[in-house]
Structure 1
């Protein structure tokens, strides 16, 4: 596996910004095999997710038309492994942008920093 951390400096040039470390996997390594499958699997997953969302939205629409005004509806079908239930769910969320603008001291008191890892194409959009 090749790991590149930075390029050699150019004499007389201003110091470059720190380079992002890069990795080139060894041929037939586990990482190489995973990368071989990534683009196709990601595309298939994105298409499947879109299809499920379209179907789910259609089912919700049809159930709302079949029983207008109901807060909870169960649908059964021989095509389903288990019945589905659509229900209205209320939730409350903090408007963190407004809180930060209007009361920054309170925002800082309750703000919590977290870190997560994201894998996305370089120079492209993530999904």
Structure 2
């Protein structure tokens, strides 16, 4: 686990695919994500949070409220398989309480299913295209 405010962010983080979490130590809320490059994603998240270009409004608001030292980026699992990463990400989100997980929206009370469906459709399309070539 690494403090997102660290100047030398995540020096030991692999340039590999996996599932990660960003936890707010002040309130216990967690954001789960999947990526094909954990090192790059951690740097992107840090930049977005510091610059205010955050992808998740509640996460960004809490970052401003509690400060960057209150957030921890952690690798949940390493995985080279896209489908495995997406399945684990979705399982973690679904198993989280809606008040404890940034992935849930306030209005609907559920995480954004379109994101997962879009990811799965995109991956399936790429896999199908590669098999046909």
TM-score, normalised on structure 2? 0.22
Higher Cα radius of gyration: 1
Instruction: Identify, as 1 or 2, the structure richer in strand.
Output: 2
Q: TM-score, normalised by structure 1?
A: 0.22
> Could you say which structure has the greater relative contact order, defined with CA pairs below 8 angstroms and 6 or more residues apart?
2
Greater share of helix residues, 1 or 2?
2
